[in-house]
Chains A and B, each alone.
Chain A
Amino acid sequence: MIRIEALSLSIHGLPILRDVSLAIGKGQIFGLVGESGSGKSMTALALMQLLPNGAEITGRAHLDEIDLLTQSEADMCALRGNEIGMIFQEPMTALNPVQSIGDQVAETLLIHDAATRAEARRIARDRLDRVGLSHIGMDRFPHELSGGQRQRVCIAAAIALHPRLLIADEPTTALDVTTQAQILDLLKDLVAEEGMSLLLITHDLAVVSDMADHVAVMQKGEIVEQGPTAQVLGQQNHPYTRALFAASSHQPDRAQMAGRAPLLDVENVLRLYPGPRRGLTRGDPVRAVDGVSFQLHKGESLGLVGESGCGKSTLTRAILGLDPIQGGAIRLFGEPVTPAMRNDLRAGIQVVFQDPYGSFNPRWQVEKLVAEPFHLMAAPPPDRRDRVAEALQSVGLQPADMTKYPHEFSGGQRQRIAIARALITRPRILVLDEAVSALDVRVRAQILDLLADLQSRLHLSYLFISHDLTVIRAITDRVLVMQAGRIVEEGETETVFTAPAHSYTRTLLAAAPRLDIMGRTGTNAAM
Chain B
Amino acid sequence: MLRYLLNRLISLCLSLVAASLVIFLVIEVIPGDPAAFMLGLNATEANVAALREELGLGGTLPERYWAWVSGMLTGDFGTSYTYRVPVADLILDRLWVSLPLAGYALALSTAIAFPVGLIAASRRGTATDYGIMGGTQLGIAVPNFWFAMLLVLVFAVNLQWFSAGGFPGWADPMAAIKALTLPAIALALPQASILARVMRSALLDTLGQDYIRTARAKGLSRRQAVIRHALRNALIPVLTIIGLQFSFLLAGAIIIENVFFLPGLGRLIFQGITQRDLVVVESVTMLLVFAVILVTFLVDIAYAAADPRLRRK
Contacts and interface: CB of A to CB of B under 8 A. Distances in A.
Interface of A: 48, 50, 73-74, 77-82, 85-88, 90, 93-100, 107-108, 111-112, 141, 143-144, 154, 157-158, 279
Contacts of A96: 211, 214-215, 229, 233
B127 to A, nearest CB: 16
B145 to A, nearest CB: 40
Interface in B213-232: 213-221, 224, 228-229, 232
19 contacts: A48-B217, A50-B213, A77-B221, A80-B219, A81-B217, A81-B218, A82-B219, A88-B217, A90-B210, A94-B211, A94-B213, A96-B214, A96-B215, A96-B233, A100-B308, A111-B224, A143-B308, A154-B214, A157-B218
A85 B307 CA distance: 27
A97 B210 contact: no
B84 interface: no
A108 B217 CA distance: 9
B306 interface: yes
Contact of B211 (A80, A86, A97, A144): A97
A88 B213 contact: yes
Given A94-B214, A95-B211, A81 B308 contact: no
Contacts of B309: 97-98, 141, 143
Nearest to B222: A73
Contacts of B215: 96, 107
A50 B221 contact: no
A120 to B, nearest CB: 12
A88 B219 contact: no
B219 A93 contact: no
B158 interface: no
Contact of B221 (A74, A95, A97, A144): A74
A77 B220 contact: yes
A80 B225 CA distance: 13
A107 B215 CA distance: 9
Nearest to A93: B210
Nearest to A76: B219
Given A93-B209, A93-B211, A98-B307, A111 B216 contact: no
- Most-contacted residue by chain A among B219, B233, B309 (CB, 10 A): B219
A88 B214 contact: yes
Contacts of A95: 211, 214
A97 B233 contact: yes
Contact of A73 (B218, B221, B224, B312): B221
Interface in B37-57: none
Interface string B295-311: 00000000000111100
B211 A111 contact: no
Contacts of A97: 211, 233, 307-309
Contacts of B221: 73-74, 77
A98 B214 CA distance: 14
10 pairs of A and B residues whose beta carbons are closest in the complex:
A81-B219, A81-B218, A93-B210, A86-B217, A80-B219, A96-B211, A141-B308, A108-B218, A94-B210, A94-B214
Contact of B210 (A88, A98, A100): A88
Contacts of A74: 221
Given A73-B221, A94-B214, A107-B228, 11 more contacts: A50-B213, A80-B216, A81-B220, A88-B214, A88-B217, A94-B213, A95-B214, A96-B215, A98-B232, A99-B229, A144-B312
Main SS at interface, chain B: helix
A51 B219 CA distance: 14
A85 B211 contact: no
Contacts of A85: 217-218
- Most-contacted residue by chain B among A95, A98, A154 (CB, 10 A): A98
Contacts of A111: 218-220, 224
A85 B221 CA distance: 15
Contact of B216 (A50, A143, A157, A158): A50
A48 B217 CA distance: 7
A144 B309 CA distance: 9
Nearest to B216: A50
Contacts of B232: 98-99
B297 to A, nearest CB: 20
A89 B307 CA distance: 24
Contact of B219 (A100, A112, A141): A112
A62 to B, nearest CB: 19
A156 to B, nearest CB: 11
B229 A80 contact: no
Nearest to A89: B210
Nearest to A103: B228
A50 B218 CA distance: 11
Contacts of B217: 48, 50, 80-81, 85-88, 158
Contacts of B211: 93-97
B205 to A, nearest CB: 13
Contacts of A157: 214, 218
A48 B229 CA distance: 20
- Most-contacted residue by chain A among B3, B218, B219 (CB, 10 A): B218
Interface in B198-218: 209-211, 213-218
Contacts of B210: 88, 90, 93-94
A78 B233 CA distance: 25
B160 to A, nearest CB: 49
A80 B232 CA distance: 23
Nearest to A85: B217
A141 B312 CA distance: 11
Nearest to B212: A96
A92 B89 CA distance: 56
Contacts of A88: 210, 213-214, 217
A144 B308 CA distance: 10
A73 B218 CA distance: 14
A108 B220 CA distance: 8
Contact of B306 (A77, A98, A279): A98
A34 B154 CA distance: 67
B186 to A, nearest CB: 35
Contacts of A93: 209-211
A77 B309 CA distance: 30
A53 to B, nearest CB: 9
A265 to B, nearest CB: 39
Contacts of A100: 308
Interface string B45-72: 0000000000000000000000000000
Given A96-B211, A99-B229, A111-B224, A77 B308 contact: no
A82 to B, nearest CB: 6
A100 B232 CA distance: 13
A50 B309 CA distance: 30
Given A90-B210, A141-B308, A154-B214, A98 B233 contact: yes
A87 B213 CA distance: 10
Contacts of A77: 219-221
A100 B309 CA distance: 11
Nearest to B220: A111
B308 A98 contact: yes
